[in-house]
Amino acid sequence: MSAGRGSDRSLSDAFATAVDAAPGTVYRRDADGDQPIRAASDGIADLTGYDADALTSEGRGWLELVHPDDREDVRTAVADADDEARETTYRIERADGGVRFVRDRFLAAPDDSAAVEGVALDVTETERRRRELADDAELLETIFEHIPIHVFVKDCEGRHVHRSDYLDFPETVIGKRDIDVDFINEESARAAYEDDMRVIEAGETVLDQEEHYPAVGEWDLTSKVPLYDEDGEVMGLLGATRRITERKRAEQELRRKTERLDSFADVVANDIRQPLSEAQRRARQVDDPAADDAHVEAAREAIQRAGAVVDDVLALSRDGELSLDPEPVSLREVVDDAWNRVADDGDALAAPEDVELRADRPHLRRAFENLFRRGVAPAAVEAIDEGFAVELAGWTDTSRERPTGSDPQTAEAGRRSDGAGLELGLVEEIVTGHGWSIRVASGASPTDPTPEAAEAPTDGTRIEVTGIELRGPTDDTERSE
């Protein structure tokens, strides 16, 4: 050690006894001015690039080695030195121009209040690593704040340690497992927690796991991977969640449309078959020398009706909905028109008089035709509160007669029915397309039958269509439009 014990620049006896065993550089320096070095162990050469004799004999100030940006902090710390050890970390500039980080631990010299004694350690690698970690942590925090997905970290117990800000997950999830969080329903929370434990305990990876939260109507797609410590042991997991609710809704809507088309495909086939059969029958009549032009006109109308069915199917397959052109129409006229196209005899049909509504005439007529063909006897129509009802004696549901080999699950999923279990097919599309509601009840009878409907069947099927603004003969609002 430079400047031995006998020198007036020596270390105190008590401090000097520990010098040889102490790591780093042990020193005594002035507390004032540029803090010249009074004495230092040989380790100072490794730290600064200057040997101890050069520093102590020339009285070089320690602050001359300290980085200019850190000098004031070092000066203030030394000025406040007392008999309690203090510690500060700063940079020094070596003789070769390199910069090193020093952790300086010192206190006022016990035998000289104008000096401080301490030990300076080279902590360059530790400090650089600390600063790199701090920079990484800052970068990670920035990512967690701005990444457009929900990212989270959990510990070995499955408790949330950190989470991003993308999804509206409250801060209260920190420190909790999914099964401890109130806003996640029990079934979803249990499934997510079991996935967490699989990742943590077995080191498995979960990729693109769909998670449904029915309580809030949301769907997520989650991936989780294990996090390992330096010893290769699992210390938790890192997860990422993307919200896919809109995609799932689009998938469900596509599935619903597909099933809807499939569910009334056979009904539409019947709708086409009936007018084509009529056209064929009329065409055969045309060959009769006694036939008149009425058969040709009837055949033409039948073919047009079949074409209208095709147009409807194309509209549904292409646009997913019928193209409607509502106008004021007489309920009686639409009912009579539909009945005349369906009935094979001259039986009259009970229907209300002088009732008007706003609807697409051709489509409403086709809905009545479809219903009338389902009955095994003449039907009846009555006006009810906010709509109308159709009474049918019996019911034939040809839409249930699916081709052999069709998927029963698909067939079952395609049926949209109520308590009566009756497939409405295109009728429902027409009704709901108008913004109305439809309900089917078996064995129902009119709750307030009109005189025309008094003789209607009472043990068949009653279809009620509501949500309609009916107008009587004294209300000319719609007529004047």
Neighbours of 30 (CB within 10 A): 20
Within 8 A by CB and 6+ apart from 133, the residues are: none
Q: Give the tens place of pLDDT for each residue, 296-308.
A: 777 777 777 677 6
Assign 387 a pLDDT band (cuts: 50, 70, 90). Answer: very high
Answer for the pair 164, 149: CB distance below 8 angstroms, yes or no: yes
Q: Would you identify the CATH topology of the domain 147-243?
A: Beta-Lactamase (3.30.450)
Give 279: exposed, middle or buried? Use CB within 10 Å, 0-12, 13-18, 19+. buried
Q: Do domains 13-123 and 147-243 have the same CATH topology?
A: yes
Computed on alpha carbons and rounded to an integer, the radius of gyration of the chain in Å comes to 45
User: Quick one: average pLDDT of 155-173?
Assistant: 79
Measured torsion, CA atoms of residues 297, 303, 307, 310, in degrees rounded to the nearest 10: 160
DSSP count for the chain of H helices, then E strands: 14, 16
Q: Give the tens place of pLDDT for each residue, 45-96.
A: 889 998 877 777 776 789 999 999 999 999 999 999 998 999 999 999 999 9
Within 8 A by CB and 6+ apart from 121, the residues are: 23, 24, 25, 102, 103, 105
> Residue 200: is its pLDDT beyond 90?
yes
> Residue 228: is its pLDDT beyond 80?
yes
Q: Is 184 strand, coil or helix?
A: coil
Q: Is 447 strand, coil or helix?
A: coil
User: Quick one: average pLDDT of 253-271?
Assistant: 70
> Residue 467: is its pLDDT beyond 90?
yes
Pairing of strands 380-384, 387-392: antiparallel
Answer for the pair 127, 171: CB distance below 8 angstroms, yes or no: no
Helix ranges restricted to H, 41-180: 43-48, 52-57, 71-79, 124-146
Tokens of 397: 């549901």
Assign 398 a pLDDT band (cuts: 50, 70, 90). Answer: very low
Class of domain 13-123: alpha beta
The mean pLDDT of the chain is 77
| Matching CATH number, 321-480, of 2.60.40, 1.10.10, 3.30.565, 3.30.420 | 3.30.565
Q: How long a stretch of residues is the chain?
A: 481
Answer for the pair 427, 437: CB distance below 8 angstroms, yes or no: no
> Residue 289: is its pLDDT beyond 60?
yes
Per-domain residue ranges of the chain: 13-123, 147-243, 321-480
pTM above 0.85, yes or no: no
Neighbours of 124 (CB within 10 A): 17
Q: Give the tens place of pLDDT for each residue, 83-114.
A: 899 999 999 999 999 999 999 999 999 999 89
Q: How many CA atoms lie within 13 A of 367 on its CB side?
A: 28
Answer for the pair 120, 104: CB distance below 8 angstroms, yes or no: yes
229-236: long-range contacts, CB 8 A cutoff, minimum separation 24: 234/156, 234/200, 234/201, 234/203, 235/155, 235/156, 236/153, 236/154, 236/155, 236/156, 236/161, 236/200
From residue 123, alpha-carbon distances to 21, 62, 95, 100, 102 in Å are 19, 18, 18, 8, 6
Assign 266 a pLDDT band (cuts: 50, 70, 90). Answer: low
Interatomic CA distance for residues 74 and 35, integer angstroms: 10
